[in-house]
Structures are given as structure tokens and as C-alpha cells.
Amino acid sequence: MEEIKSIPVIKEKIIDICGDKHYYNEHGQRHRADGPAIESAAIEYKEWIFNGLTHREDGPAIEYGKQKRQSWYYRGKFLGRSDEGYTQKDFERWKKLKIFS
């Protein structure tokens, strides 16, 4: 599996008028290597984005809502949603099978 290389990160975050936090790299892509690139407390939303692609290797890339719904992505590829029955266990099995493209 090819390792994803990080583009240098601008070390500042943008907080919009609603108080949502957005992180970008120097190319204007949403990006954060150490946490969610989008965080919204008002709508309980977090999204992990790496160099412009929704991506997370250790859990769901999107978490949202009071019901704590989750969506799994890898390098921008949608894998499944918790409200459709997809689980962390499914994601771990997918990773183990190395179905990375």
C-alpha cells in the first residue's frame, strides 16, 4: 500500500461566523493530519479530510448528529454509513483485506 504524503499545513484555522472550525493546507484544500478538518458544535459534525479528500484510517471520517451517525471513507472513497448497518468492525475487516486502491 502506498503511503499518503502530507502537503505542508498552514498552522492556522479559520473560524466562521457560526463558530465552525475549518483547517486548510497551503493549496487551499481542506486538510488536517491530527484531527477533523471541519468541526461544527452547533450541528454536532466532524469531518476528517486529508489533502482535500475525506479520509480517516482509524475510524469513521464523518461523525454527525445527536444519534452519533458515522460514515467511513478512505482516500475519498465512500465505504459505508452506520445508519445503513456499516460498523467499525466492517471497516477493520476491509482494511485487513487490503482493499485499498
8 Å CB contact between 71 and 81: yes
8 Å CB contact between 81 and 70: yes
Q: pTM above 0.75?
A: yes
> Looking at this protein, which amino acid is placed at residue 39?
E
Please give the chain's pLDDT, 101 residues, in tens.
455 555 554 556 899 989 999 999 988 899 999 999 999 988 999 999 999 999 999 999 999 998 889 999 999 999 999 999 999 999 999 988 876 55
What distance in Å separates the CA atoms of residue 16 and residue 33, rounded to the nearest whole number?
Answer: 20
